């Protein structure tokens, strides 16, 4: 758990750390759930005062000093979720550049001419993928949807019944020139993305990606949760692995040290898959590489955010047991 929470970390636990640091007089900045430079300096000061190594990261010892009444670092709620949910949350965090659970409510405007993109995998109006999720939500949980959108619920239903051109026109009418949604629409969608009901719909809509991921992991002799997460991210971001890349991967596998432990071999294979898939990604190669190697290695930085797959998503080298 070294460096469990550090610069780039986000979420409810970061807000908890910031609140305690403010209460103790070490932090002057806002409680914004983002572990930035101010929080890092506050942690260093707290650690120095409490005879801890001033790393600026909140590890288990620093957590215990901050919260002596609850010294054990709490498991995030995602730890109890099934593997497909945890894979979706990780890739969704990459796709939306917002850390779980915010990724399920990630929303962007018409910068890509898709009108409106929403959710962990940015389902959108332009490709007519978001309409399916919204219609299913209304069919299965109309009361929840009506409660969230309130007096804008009739407008939402009217939009869902319009042509694609009408839907795109509506989406553009509720955002500014920087493609930011106006209120109260932004808050409504944010609330929707955080509901268990809509998260379940997102999970169901990502089922094909997950099934493909498990098949790909099996095809390359990979067994772990991290391998499932790696292949899920490939399925979402890249679609597949070409025949040429596959042969390169298998050739690289053949050069690996046969005396490696089971887990070391798993990691070595995932690094090969990560690099070969990135090499085949053209101008996007380095973005693909940072995502895939973060998964293969278990930690890394993507889009400026630090990821610890074990500590944040409970994605480990345990055998994958989908449920």
Q: Say if residue 42's pLDDT is above 50.
A: yes
**What's the predicted TM-score (pTM) here?**
0.84
Amino acid 73: pLDDT: 83
Cα–Cα distance measured from residue 83 to residue 87, given in angstroms and rounded to the nearest whole number:
6
By the 10 Å C-beta count (0-12 exposed, 13-18 middle, 19+ buried), 321 is classed as exposed
Do 226 and 295 contact (CB within 8 A), yes or no?
A: yes
Amino acid 322: pLDDT: 65
Do 65 and 271 contact (CB within 8 A), yes or no?
A: no
First to last CA, the chain: 27
Pairing state of beta strands 107-108 and 117-118?
Answer: antiparallel
Q: pLDDT of 175-214, one tens digit each?
A: 999 999 999 999 999 999 999 999 999 999 999 999 999 9
The beta strand positions in the chain, using DSSP E, are 107-108, 117-118, 123-124, 299-302, 305-308
What is the four-CA torsion angle of 302, 124, 134, 131, rounded to 10 degrees?
Answer: -160
């Amino acid at each position: 758990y070294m460096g469990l929470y550090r610069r780039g970390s986000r979420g409810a636990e970061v807000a908890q750390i910031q609140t305690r640091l403010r209460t103790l007089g070490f932090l002057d900045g806002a409680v914004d759930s983002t572990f930035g430079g101010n929080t890092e300096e506050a942690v260093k000061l707290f650690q120095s005062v409490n005879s801890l190594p001033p790393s600026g990261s909140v590890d288990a010892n620093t957590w215990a000093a901050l919260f002596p009444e609850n010294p054990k670092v709490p498991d995030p709620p995602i730890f109890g979720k099934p593997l497909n949910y945890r894979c979706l949350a990780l890739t969704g965090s990459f796709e939306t550049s917002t850390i779980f659970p915010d990724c399920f409510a990630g929303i962007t405007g018409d910068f890509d001419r898709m009108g409106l993109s929403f959710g962990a995998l940015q389902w959108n109006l332009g490709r007519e993928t978001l309409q399916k999720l919204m219609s299913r939500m209304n069919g299965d949980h109309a009361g929840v949807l009506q409660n969230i959108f309130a007096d804008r619920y009739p407008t939402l239903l009217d939009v869902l019944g319009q042509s694609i051109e009408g839907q795109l026109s509506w989406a553009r009418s509720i955002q500014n020139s920087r493609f930011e949604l106006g209120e109260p629409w932004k808050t409504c969608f944010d609330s929707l993305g955080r509901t268990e009901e809509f998260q379940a719909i997102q999970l169901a809509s990502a089922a094909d990606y997950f099934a493909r991921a498990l098949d790909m992991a099996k095809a390359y002799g990979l067994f772990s949760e991290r391998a499932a997460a790696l292949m899920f991210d490939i399925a979402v971001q890249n679609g597949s692995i070409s025949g040429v890349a596959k042969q390169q991967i298998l050739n690289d596998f053949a050069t690996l040290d046969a005396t490696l432990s089971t887990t070391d071999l798993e990691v070595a294979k995932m690094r090969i898959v990560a690099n070969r898939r990135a090499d085949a990604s053209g101008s996007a190669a380095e973005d693909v590489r940072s995502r895939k190697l973060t998964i293969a290695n278990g930690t890394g930085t993507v889009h400026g955010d630090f990821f610890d797959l074990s500590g944040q998503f409970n994605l480990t080298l345990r055998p994958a047991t989908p449920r």
